[in-house]
Amino acid sequence: MIDAKTVREWGQRYSNWGRWGADDERGTLNFITPDRILAACALPRSGLVVSCALPFDANGPQSGVGGRHNPIHTMLADGGDAISGAQDFLPGGFNYADDAIQMPLQCGTQWDALSHVFYDGKMYNGRDVSLVTSRGAKANAIDKIADGVVGRGVLLDVPRFTKQDWLENGTRILPEHLDDCAESFGVSIERGDILLIRTGMMTRCLKEKSWEGYCGGPAPGLSVHCARWLYEREVAAVATDTWGVEVIPNETKDCFQPLHMISLRNTGLLLGEIFHLDALAQACAEDGRYAFLFTAPPLPITGAVGSPINPLAIK
């Protein structure tokens, strides 16, 4: 059994602190060099664009745990205002609609910033947790990577590889599973890749029309043993169709989300959650190509520790 002591030891072993200088706030996105971006731009063949975002609406997975709720969409001006004459101050009878949305930044498809988790008083690159205040993060915030999430995307469709509709809750995805899945689909994992891993958990929830247990409950996901695999392959980012990327129940009794603590805090690996990967999985199965141009920039929200996104795969 892996314990908190081991998590700390692995955190030191797979650390990128100082690798790109004391001022670095981008972490493993530094692996995505201009050459890697240009190579990724040569991947599309059909021009098909596939969104990997779950709709941001009241039907999302959030249940209020941890203060997270589904988006609340409010109209500020609508057709009724035009009909009632509330917009008669506009000349010529021309009208408009406006709206607003209120939501936690991690309630739907999103990236975790490098200031999202910490332990022993430190976050990525040795910065003090006191830099994350009620007014936001003064370091490692999501706006620091506003131009940094574009490159070669790779989908590992684990249920398709194992010939299942979805992985059962608690299924651990081990490094050898990732290697075998990639080999089966004829794709390699390269330095600077943005790795999308489908477990089918969202597929199941949508089919059953129930999000029960999705947010923080038992789930398939990456084993903490993948920390070394991700570090050694110099992956730029990892995202899954689950709430928290890693397997739940966690493999540690005295550390919550150990892969986050190692890979996000120490390796500086960008983590994405609640990705809707079914349409992309179907497109990849149809053309047999599991690598593509991928872009998913966060909203440049100053000081935020996460951001909603609309990830796009271009095939």
Tens-digit pLDDT profile for residues 198-226: 999 999 999 999 999 999 999 999 999 99
Locate CATH 3.50.30.50 in the chain. Answer: 4-65+105-314
Percent of the chain, pLDDT > 70? 100
- The residues near 34 (Cβ < 8 Å, ≥ 6 apart) are none
CB 304 within 8 A of CB 138: no
Res 21 pLDDT > 90: yes
Q: CA-to-CA distance for 263 and 139, rounded, in angstroms?
A: 18
Give the pTM. 0.96
Cβ-based neighbour number of residue 238 at 10 Å: 25
- Separation CA 311–CA 111 (nearest Å): 10
- Residue 199 in tokens: 């477990």
What mean pLDDT value characterizes the chain? 97
Quick: pLDDT tens for 104-113: 999 999 999 9
Q: Distance between CA 249 and CA 257 in Å, rounded? A: 9
Dihedral sign (CA 288, 269, 17, 22):
positive
The tens digit of pLDDT for each residue in 162-181 reads 999 999 999 999 999 999 99
Name the residue with higher pLDDT: 82 or 176: 176
Instruction: List the Cα angle 223/59/68 in 5-degree steps.
Output: 60
What average pLDDT does range 253-272 have in this prediction?
97
User: In the structure, what pLDDT confidence band is assigned to residue 37 with cuts at 50, 70 and 90?
Assistant: very high
Q: What is the pLDDT of residue 49?
A: 98
**Contact of 253 with 259, CB cutoff 8 Å:** no
Q: Residue 1: what pLDDT? A: 72
Mean pLDDT of 249-265: 96
CATH 3.50.30.50 fits 4-65+105-314, yes or no: yes
Given the structure tokens 């477990």, which residue do they identify?
199
